[in-house]
Chains A and B, each alone.
Chain A
Amino acid sequence: MSTEILSVSDLTVSFDGFKAVDNLSLFVEKDELRCVIGPNGAGKTTLLDMICGKTKPSSGSIKFKGNELTKTTEYKITRAGVGRKFQTPSVYEDLTVWENLELSYPKQRGIAAALFFKSTPEINERVNQVAQEMYLKDELDTKAGTLSHGQKQWLEIGMLLMQEPELLLLDEPVAGMSARERDLTAELLNRISKGRSIILIEHDMEFVRKIAHRVTVLHQGKVLSEGSMDQVQNDPKVIETYLGL
């Protein structure tokens, strides 16, 4: 048995005949931090959408820890341990930072349980700890809607951490961040990648170099190249079509 946590095989999705992802296969190991790069329209976000259930593939299979995901709904995939961070920060703006984090705690997600939910010292500690890690310790009572862009990005990552996912899907987590925030985020990702697998979409090559274990290059819905950052950058196919280095 391999240590694969996610295996995507022969995945295809077409929108009105246009194949956004075309017969794509991808395997992610346990504890791996995989970066997916590629030009606009290469199918990166669509790939993540299909893994987390937001988009249904036309054909192919996605197995997470041996369980097929393509037939399941989003919230069940989330409960199984897949966390998704969207490209634009998606937090609950009318709730406070504390409430955003507490809501993401992966228990009591049914109606009755939510109605009679009581916060425990354990949950409080977890919220505090995640807020600390996300540099949001002083913002716990702030409504999420009033946070800065970078803070919202962190909050969303924090919400994912609360869910304790085994696989994190991050779509351009440093987009729109200042240089300092980028450094902090790189540090953060290195820290949180311990003990879980991450798939990360990113355009910023410097950032990718800092954190990636392995890199997958997508082009027109297909895998163009795969390997370490150096291997990928020296791959003639990649140089030709994308990097131009």
Chain B
Amino acid sequence: MSAKAMQRKSMAPWNFINRHALTILAVLLLVVIPLSLESFRLGLAAKYLSFGFCAVGIVLIWGYGGILSLGQGVFFGLGSYMMAMFLKLEAAANADSSSSTALSAFFGQAGLPDFMAWNSVEKLPWWWEPFHYVGFTIPAILIIPALVAFVLAYVNFRKRVGPVYFSIITLALAGIMAIVIIGQQGYTGGINGITDFKTFMGMDLDQDRAKVIMYYVTAVLLLLTVIIGRFILKSRLGKVLVAIRDREDRVRFSGYDPAMFKAFVFSVAALFSAIGGAMFSLQVGLASPSLVGIVPSIEMVIYAAVGGRLSLIGAVYGTLVVSYAKTFFSENFVQYWLYFIGLLFIVVVMFLPGGLASLMEKLRLGKKQAETLKTPVGKNLETGSQ
């Protein structure tokens, strides 16, 4: 046996893992986690996975498109709030029909969410009305955030707003959205968010069986986003994205409109985030401004960075690892959590710029070859594209 063949053999398990990464992730999400965790911990895993949608989107836009969005929480929040609005209206209707007509008479209009009554909003605002219907809510979750993202990105990129400025714009949006939600308490539930709903189309969300079903729905949808992401990256569009990341100016002279491509991928990432947000509301029973603002948005970027910003699958692992670390730390050393996550980010950027996924590559190819595969990570981190 030649030395080369020997070496290949010694790398075999890593090659195997690399080739079947998606299958392994599927087995982990669909078999290992559900079988090994009891109901409470499974709910926790499901909650983390709903952030995974954002991280997968961030790999697409940041890793491949060179757009560092610090505002994915906005789209996560849109999805989360729209789902919560539907659930809340269902809960309000149930509360009215089941008991205490006297109370609801006291609180005003029938079927009004409780927090509105508390804030002396007497009539359901018109823009809440369509969320009575699941047939509106689900398409809205799939369309509105993606549309908002597309228009926002296209307008900016057409004007050739630079990557750093775009990052700041997204950051500002995340801040603004949280402030608006908190400020409009009567319509949005304010700082408490929208909560206290228990059924989705009659299904009791608190039951273990519902939790397991929701977990599987989330896991399957997440795997689906990874597959869609892979499809995009493998297509010509994915190559154009990489080209834009490296030399946006040149891409125009290859006859492409970079603004269109960037806006498209940005809206795909927004769509993913919104789906994650909707699944979050269903499973955690909450839509909260604390998941919309700047801090959660940046945490999402950290998930992607830790997992490996060039790896869709890595993003899912990154989300799970960082989230579990967060839970562990916040259960044991509450006040140090933020320091820890800051440190983690610095360590990853400095010593492992390709994240966990690049660690995997190193093991698979040996150190030298992995070096040559490395993309110019530092350059993108600072400026997004150039």
Contact = CB atoms under 8 A, between A and B. Distances in A.
A102 B237 CA distance: 12
A109 B256 contact: yes
Interface stretch (A3-11, A70-78, A203-211, A236-244): A70-78
Nearest to A111: B264
Nearest to A53: B252
Interface in B250-284: 250, 252-257, 260-261, 264
B209 interface: no
B239 interface: yes
Contact of A92 (B235, B236, B237, B247): B247
Given A90-B247, A94-B375, A84 B253 contact: yes
A169 B372 CA distance: 33
A102 B240 CA distance: 11
B243 interface: yes
A181 interface: no
Given A52-B253, A75-B256, A163-B255, A115 B232 contact: yes
Contacts, number: 80
Interface in B220-254: 231-232, 235-237, 239-240, 242-243, 245-247, 249-250, 252-254
B29 to A, nearest CB: 26
Interface in B344-386: 372, 375-376
A170 to B, nearest CB: 13
A146 B237 CA distance: 23
A116 B254 CA distance: 18
A99 B239 contact: yes
Among A90, A106, A116, the most chain B Cβ lie within 10 Å of the Cβ of A90
A147 interface: no
Interface in A59-77: 73-75
On chain A, which size bracket covers the interface? 20 to 34
A114 B246 contact: no
Q: Is the interface of A mostly helix, strand, loop or mixed?
A: loop
Given A74-B252, A78-B252, A103 B239 contact: yes
A83 interface: yes
A114 B236 contact: yes
A218 to B, nearest CB: 22
A79 B236 contact: no
Interface string A96-138: 0001001110101111001111000000000000000000000
Contacts of A111: 237, 260-261, 264
B115 to A, nearest CB: 41
B255 A92 contact: no
B246 A117 contact: no
Given A92-B247, A93-B246, A95-B243, A103 B252 contact: no
A10 B254 CA distance: 28
Interface residues of B, number: 26
Q: Nearest 4 CB-CB pairs, A to B?
A: A117-B236, A74-B252, A114-B237, A78-B255
Nearest to A146: B372
Contacts of A53: 252
A229 to B, nearest CB: 29
Given A92-B242, A106-B255, A114-B261, 11 more contacts: A54-B249, A75-B257, A83-B253, A84-B253, A90-B247, A90-B250, A92-B250, A93-B247, A95-B242, A103-B239, A117-B237
17 contacts: A54-B249, A73-B252, A73-B257, A75-B252, A75-B253, A84-B253, A91-B250, A93-B247, A95-B239, A99-B239, A103-B243, A104-B255, A109-B255, A109-B256, A111-B260, A114-B237, A115-B232
A106 B254 CA distance: 8
Nearest to A119: B236
Given A103-B240, A115-B232, A74 B253 contact: yes
Contact of B255 (A75, A86, A102, A116): A75
Contacts of A52: 253
A36 interface: no
A159 interface: yes
B69 to A, nearest CB: 19
Contact of B236 (A75, A78, A108, A146): A108
Nearest to A117: B236
B254 A115 contact: no
A74 B256 CA distance: 9
A55 to B, nearest CB: 12
A81 to B, nearest CB: 10
A115 B235 contact: yes
A102 B238 CA distance: 13
A26 to B, nearest CB: 20
A115 B253 contact: no
Nearest to B373: A143
A21 to B, nearest CB: 20
A103 B260 contact: no
Contacts of A90: 247, 249-250
